[in-house]
Structure 1
Amino acid sequence: MSYWLLSLDKWHQNYKEYINEKSYKPETGRYWYTHKMVKRALPNMFRYLDNPRIPKSTNSIESFFGHMKGLLNIHRGLPYKHRKQYLMWYLYFKNEKNT
């Protein structure tokens, strides 16, 4: 892990100007950090190391949503409102079954 942190620090030094770039919107006269998500990511990147209930990857979530997308494709003709209700009921019954 320490090797990774040293590499991260080196990366940060190399790209410090890029990370600290600011954008400007003339209409409002406001500046903001263009790449603010890069700056905010590090404190939360390794939470899974301290909490075994947090998965190490998003593979299971991607698989689950891929399955749900397949279910919705079966019912392609549903209006948006009904698709939303379908998903809400599906998740409700899925959670009932798992409790």
Structure 2
Amino acid sequence: MIVDGGSGLASALKRTWPETRIQRCLVHVQRNVRVLLTLRPRTKAGRQPRALSLALTRIKNRDEALAWLNALNAWHAAHKDLLAERTYRGTGPAPTHATTNQTWWYTHYRLRRAYQLLARCVRQEVLFTYLHPDLAALQVASTTNRIEGGVNAGIRHLLRNHRGLPAEHRKRAVEWYLYQRSENPGPPWKLIRPEHYEPVTATKGEIEEQLGPAVLGTAAVAEEGLWARSGWAGRT
């Protein structure tokens, strides 16, 4: 199973299906690290875990995976004192993540979180599942690219082309789209339930969501909304 919902989701799946092998999407892991460390970290300590995250998608065998794990452990051994540094309230501006009652916080909070993200994935054994010998015949993917560029892309395209549909109709359209791509679809009439014979009336909130914000339709006439403008848009 490939997931991209983070370590919390992976842990929940492990508890529900303990025998299921989980592969975190490596591209999403890279993105999560990038959010914490930015695209180009300014410090050497930040550039190394950023480089390690980028290397994840280039690992092709278990020897390379072992070398990656050793590099992560070596980085932590060299910077564990840096990660443990604290800043106390009153010695400088408080970061946005600090609560009002918090008297201290980790100085390199974002760097620490980036390392913990990678280390947690290692402990949960969800980074290199695709390299497991027992799964070699299945050719397990290490990312969700096939899903995002396949089924999910088609669903987004469908909803974008039919964005005027009521919410219930959008759900039915997605259901039919997935049914058409099922490996062993059953009779299509089994998708019809008794409530589907009841007429669907869109609520005021749904209508506004489909048409756009109410402020866009406050003009008395169409010409007023289009042409009675000032500033750069009206060229005045």
Deviations 1:16-44 (A, max 9, x none): 837xxxx8878xxxxxxx95x71431211
Instruction: Read off the aligned partner of 1:41 and give its amino acid letter.
Output: C
Aligned to 2:155: 68
Q: Which has the higher helix share?
A: 1
Aligned to 1:5: 69
Aligned to 1:31: none
Taking the aligned partners of 1:3 and 1:96, their CA distance within structure 2 comes to: 40
Q: Which of 154, 157, 177 matches 1:90?
A: 177
Taking the aligned partners of 2:99 and 2:172, their CA distance within structure 1 comes to: 39
Mark the CA change 1:15 to 1:66 in structure 2 (over 3 Å): closer, same or farther.
farther
Q: CA deviation at 1:58?
A: 2.2
Q: Which runs of 4+ in 1 moved over 6 A?
A: 23-26
- Give the TM-score of the pair, scaled to structure 2: 0.31
Mark the CA change 1:87 to 1:15 in structure 2 (over 3 Å): closer, same or farther.
farther
Q: Which structure has the bigger radius of gyration?
A: 2
SS in 1 for 2:67: helix
SS in 1 for 2:165: coil
Give aligned-pair identity as a percent: 33
- Give the TM-score of the pair, scaled to structure 1: 0.63
Q: CA deviation at 1:12?
A: 3.3
**RMSD value over aligned CA atoms?**
3.1
